[in-house]
Chains A and B, each alone.
Chain A
Amino acid sequence: MREATGKPGRATDGAATARLALRAQGIHKAFPGARALHDVDFDLLAGEVHGLVGQNGAGKSTLVKVITGAYDADAGVVEAFGEVRHGNPRARQRSGIAAIYQELTIVPEMSAAANVFLGRPHRRGLFVSRSVTHRAFEQLTTRLGLTIDPDARAGSLSVANQQMLELMRALAADHRILIMDEPSASLGPAEREHLHETIRRLREAGVATVYVSHNLGEVLALCDRVSVMRDGELVATEPADRWTRERLVTAMLGHVVQEPRSKPRRRADAAQEALRVEGLCVPGVLDDISFTLGRGEILGLGGLVGSGRTELLRALAGANAEAHGRLFVRGQQRPWPRTVRSALALGIALAPEDRQSQGLVLSMSAGANVSLSDMQTVASGPVLPERRRLRRAAEILAPLAFDATRLREPASSFSGGNQQKLVVGKWLHRRPDVLLMDEFLRGIDVGAKAELLAVVMRLAAEGMSVILVSSELEELVEGADRVLVLARGRLVGEVDHAGASVERILRLAFDVANPAGQGPAS
C-alpha cells in the first residue's frame, strides 16, 4: 500500500476525518484481460454530495459496485463509518449504504408505500399495518417535499417518482450513504431540478451522496466535491467551485497527445455513396438523424452511454420496428427496413453490442456460429455438409489468428476476444455491403483488438462500408475515416480523420450535456 498523503480522493482536512462517512483505500479490481481499478482511494464525508465523473470505461461503475459490495475488490478496504465492510450487497445494505442505479428496482405491481417499505414492513402482530405504513410514508414525503399517493400502483408512477420511491426506501432504512449512478439520465428538466432539491435536503440531514453523472453542468451545480476517474484511476478530487467544465474534460482525458495521424487515409471510394440516411427518428431515442456513408468508408460513431448510438445501429439493421426515416442504398431510395431479414437483403448487417446474448448461440459449435448467417452458401439444397462448413469457417477465421482445430468446440468455451472473432467471422462469411459494429472491441485483450481492427481496415479497403461504435474513443480516432458525434439522440457534430481527436469528440459530446435541462422530452 502506498503513502496516502497527497493522493487525490483523500480528504485532506484533518478535522474532516471525524465526519468521514465512507473510505475506500487502495482498491484494485481486474477483470479477465482488463484492469478496471488501480489503487483507488476515495473518501466521502457525511453531509457531502460527491460527484464522480469520467469517460465511459474509466471505472466509475466498477468503483460504485465495489463500494456497494456487488463486486469484491482484488485488494483494498472499504470502510463505512469506520467499520470495514465485506460480504454481499445485502449485508452491506444493512450497514447503511444504498445504491440507486439507472435501472430501478421497483416492484411495479405493488403500491408505492409497499415499495418503500419492501422487506421491512410495518407490522402489527402478524399483519402488515396499513395505517402505520401510511403514516410513515407521509412522514417521508413531507420530509422530501413530495406528493405521491401511497396506494398508487408503483408501475403507474412517472420514472422520476419511482426514483423517489427508491430514495424513500433508502431513507426508511436509515441509510446514511447514498450512491446514485446516472440518476438524472431519464429525467426531464423539471424532474431533474426536483431530484437535485431532494438530494440537497438529504445533505442537510447529514446523508452522504456519491453522484455519478455524465452531465458535467449538473455535477458542478449540485456537488460539493468532484472526483475524476481515468483509466481505472482516480486522478483528481477537488471542491466543485475549483473545477470548470473545461478543466473536468481535460482531467478526464489526461495529457492529450496531439500526434499527427500516422497514415494518410484512403478515401478513394468515399465519393461513391453506399448509404444515405435522412431524418431517422426513433420515438424517444433518436431525433432527426441524417448522414451519408461512402463505399469502403469506416464511419465512427462517438458519444456517451445513452446517447443513442446503439439504437441508431439497431434501427439501420431493421431490429427496431419503431424506426422511421428515408434510406438510400447506393443512391436508390428503399423503404426503411422493419425486420433484420429485410435489412440483410439490403446488405446491412449488425454485429451487436453483447456478443453473448445477441451475437452468438453459445451452445452451438464455433464453426456453426460462423456459418449461422449464411448457411445457404455452404449447403447443397437443404443439406449442410459439416466438413464443408468447417472448412469454410477455417478459411474465414484464418486471418483472425483463430485456432481452427477448436472449431468443433461450443462457442461458450472461448474467451471474449475469440468469441468476438466468431461474431466478426459470421459477417465475413456473409459479406454484407454495410457492416454495423457495436462496441465490438469491448472487453478484449490488446492482441485480439489489433487483429480485429486490422480485419476491419482490410474489409474497408475491399469496399465494405463500416459503421463503428466504440466507447473507447482512441479506437474511433485511430480507426475511423470520419467520426459522427451523438448526444441525447441528436447528431451534434462531425470530425474528419485529420481533425479527429479524443478531446474534440468528448467536447462535442459533453457540450450538449449542458445546460442541465436540454434533451428530448420524456
Chain B
Amino acid sequence: MTASPTAQQPRPRLAEKAVYYGAALLRTYGIVLALVVLVAVVAGSSPGFATSTNIANLFSQWAPAGIMAVAMTFVILTGGFDLSIASGFSLCAITAAGLGRTEAPAVAFLAALGVGLAIGLVNGVLVAGAKINPFITTIGTGFILNGIALVATGNVAYVVDDPGFGTIGAGRWHGFPYSGMVLVVCLVVGGVVLAKTVYGQSVYAVGGNAEASRLSGIRVGATVGSAYVLSGLSMGVAGIITASQLNSAQANIDPDVVFDVITIVVLGGTSLAGGVGSMWRTAVGLGIIATVSNAFSLADVNPYYQDIVKGCIIVGALAFDVYVRRLAGRARARAAGPTA
C-alpha cells in the first residue's frame, strides 16, 4: 500500500514475479505438498503403511480427535480457543459407558450428546455472553469437567458388556470403520457449512473483524457462542466413539488430545488470530499428524520420540509459514508495484 506517486516503477522482472507467485502458491498449498511428500516417504519406507487395513485403522484411531478438530476449526476461526475438550470428551465417554452398562446404547449415546451440548452451551455463554477470555474460560471449565468425571466415577473405569454398544466404534462396512465414516461426514459437512452457508460466512466475518460484523448487523455473540456449542457436540460424538471402541470409559482417557486437536487445525494453516482458514486445511493437518504417528509405530521406534518430532513439525511448519509470508511480501513489494 506504499504507492509512491512520483517514482516510475521499473517493469517487474520475470524472476521476481515467479518468486511472488511461487511463494503465494506455496503459502496456500504448501501444506498439501508436505502431506503428499510425507505419505510417499512413509509408504516407501514402511510396507505396512499403504495397506487397506492400516488406513482403515488410522481412520478409526483418529476419528475422535478429527471430529473434535472439525469443531475446533469453527472455534479458532472465530478467534477463540476451546481447551476444555479433553476433559469434556472424557466426561461424555463416561456418560455413554456409565449408562450403557444398564440402558440401551441409543439412550446412552443420546445422553452423551446431551452432556456435550450442555458443556458447549456453558462455554458459549461464558465466552460470547459474559465475554470472558476463551482461553481462561475453557481452562476453567476443563478443570471443572475433569473434577466432575473423577468424582462421579471415583476414577474407576466403567466397562460395558452389551455387544451392541461397540458397533459404532468397532463396526465396519466392507472393512471401513463406521467411526471413520462419521469423521468423513463431519469433515465434509463442516467444510460445506463453512464455505457455502450464511452461517459459515458469519463465522469468518466475526473472526476477521468483530466490530465490522456487528455494524453489518451480524449476530456476533450468537455466532461465537455457536462455535463452542459445536465444539461441545463434537465432544459428545468423540466420547461416544471412544467409549464404544474401548467398550469402557474412565476419567482422563486422553488428556493430550486437546493438543493434538489444536495442532491438527493450526498445522493445516488456519490462523490462530481468527478469520482465516478452512476445513480442507484441517483435513490435511489431520492427515499429517496421523501419518507421522503411524510412521513411528510402524517403524517400532520408542514412542516417546514421537512427541519430540510432533513438536518440531508444528514449530517448523509455522516458522516456514512466516518465512514464506515474508518472502511473498518482499517479492510483492518489488514485483507488483503500487496496488490499485
Binding site for B on A (CB under 8 A): 30, 32-33, 317, 319, 340-341, 344, 349-350, 352, 357-364, 368, 372-373, 375-376, 379, 382-386, 403, 406, 413-415, 418, 426, 430
Q: Taking the complex as formed, is B302 at the interface, i.e. its CB lies under 8 A from any CB of chain A? A: no
- Please report the C-alpha to C-alpha distance between residue A386 and residue B192 in the assembled complex, in whole angstroms: 12
Contact of A360 with B209 at beta-carbon distance under 8 Å, contacts A319-B215, A372-B218, A382-B199 already known: yes
Chain B contacts of A361 at CB under 8 A? 204-205, 208-209, 212-213, 275
Q: Taking the complex as formed, is B326 at the interface, i.e. its CB lies under 8 A from any CB of chain A? A: no
Q: A361-B275, A364-B201, A383-B196 are in contact. List 6 more A-B contacts (CB 8 A).
A: A344-B217, A352-B212, A361-B212, A363-B209, A372-B216, A385-B196
Q: Which of B208, B217, B218, B340 contacts A363 (CB 8 A)?
A: B208
Contact of A384 with B216 at beta-carbon distance under 8 Å, contacts A363-B204, A364-B205 already known: no
The answer on a CB contact under 8 Å between B1 and A340 is no
Chain B contacts of A32 at CB under 8 A? 1-3, 5, 338
Chain A, Cβ-Cβ closest to B6: A30
Q: Closest CB of chain B to A23's CB: distance in Å?
A: 26
Chain B contacts of A406 at CB under 8 A? 340
Contact of A362 with B197 at beta-carbon distance under 8 Å, contacts A32-B3, A340-B217, A344-B217 already known: no
Chain B contacts of A317 at CB under 8 A? 215
- Please report the C-alpha to C-alpha distance between residue A317 and residue B209 in the assembled complex, in whole angstroms: 18
Chain B, Cβ-Cβ closest to A423: B212
The answer on a CB contact under 8 Å between B201 and A340 is no
Q: Which of B2, B197, B208, B215 contacts A340 (CB 8 A)?
A: B215
- Please report the C-alpha to C-alpha distance between residue A399 and residue B30 in the assembled complex, in whole angstroms: 39
**Cβ contacts A to B, 17 pairs, < 8 Å:** A30-B5, A32-B1, A319-B215, A358-B211, A361-B208, A361-B213, A363-B275, A364-B201, A364-B205, A368-B204, A372-B213, A373-B216, A383-B198, A415-B1, A415-B3, A418-B340, A430-B217
- Please report the C-alpha to C-alpha distance between residue A461 and residue B205 in the assembled complex, in whole angstroms: 32
Chain B, Cβ-Cβ closest to A351: B215
The answer on a CB contact under 8 Å between B205 and A372 is yes
Contact of A386 with B216 at beta-carbon distance under 8 Å, contacts A357-B211, A361-B208 already known: no
Chain A contacts of B2 at CB under 8 A? 32
How would residues 179 to 211 of chain B score, 1 for a CB under 8 Å from any chain A CB and 0 otherwise? 000000000000000001111111011001101
The answer on a CB contact under 8 Å between A375 and B209 is no
- Please report the C-alpha to C-alpha distance between residue A234 and residue B2 in the assembled complex, in whole angstroms: 26
The answer on a CB contact under 8 Å between B339 and A414 is yes
Contact of A386 with B196 at beta-carbon distance under 8 Å, contacts A341-B217, A364-B208, A364-B275 already known: yes
Chain A contacts of B205 at CB under 8 A? 361, 364, 368, 372
Pairs A-B, 4 closest by C-beta atoms: A361-B208, A373-B216, A363-B208, A361-B209
Binding site for A on B (CB under 8 A): 1-3, 5, 196-202, 204-205, 208-209, 211-219, 275-276, 338-340
Contact of A357 with B217 at beta-carbon distance under 8 Å, contacts A30-B5, A363-B204, A414-B339 already known: no
- The listed residue with most A CB atoms (<10 A of its CB), out of B3, B198, B215, is B215
Q: Closest CB of chain A to B80's CB: distance in Å?
A: 16
Contact of A414 with B340 at beta-carbon distance under 8 Å, contacts A341-B217, A341-B219 already known: yes
The answer on a CB contact under 8 Å between A368 and B201 is yes
Q: Closest CB of chain B to A389's CB: distance in Å?
A: 9
Q: Which of A375, A415, A426, A430 contacts B201 (CB 8 A)?
A: A375
- Please report the C-alpha to C-alpha distance between residue A245 and residue B217 in the assembled complex, in whole angstroms: 45
- Please report the C-alpha to C-alpha distance between residue A147 and residue B197 in the assembled complex, in whole angstroms: 62
The answer on a CB contact under 8 Å between A375 and B198 is yes
Q: Closest CB of chain A to B120's CB: distance in Å?
A: 20
Chain B contacts of A418 at CB under 8 A? 340
Contact of A383 with B197 at beta-carbon distance under 8 Å, contacts A415-B1, A415-B339 already known: yes
The answer on a CB contact under 8 Å between B340 and A415 is yes
Chain B, Cβ-Cβ closest to A413: B339
Chain A contacts of B216 at CB under 8 A? 372-373, 426
Chain A contacts of B338 at CB under 8 A? 32
Chain B contacts of A357 at CB under 8 A? 209, 211-212
Chain A contacts of B219 at CB under 8 A? 341
Contact of A362 with B340 at beta-carbon distance under 8 Å, contacts A340-B217, A341-B219, A352-B215 already known: no
Chain B contacts of A375 at CB under 8 A? 198, 201-202
- Please report the C-alpha to C-alpha distance between residue A359 and residue B211 in the assembled complex, in whole angstroms: 8
Chain A contacts of B200 at CB under 8 A? 384
Chain B, Cβ-Cβ closest to A371: B201
Contact of A362 with B209 at beta-carbon distance under 8 Å, contacts A32-B1, A32-B5 already known: yes
The answer on a CB contact under 8 Å between B196 and A384 is yes
- The listed residue with most A CB atoms (<10 A of its CB), out of B202, B211, B212, is B212
Contact of A363 with B276 at beta-carbon distance under 8 Å, contacts A372-B205, A384-B196 already known: yes
Chain A, Cβ-Cβ closest to B218: A372
Chain A contacts of B275 at CB under 8 A? 361, 363-364
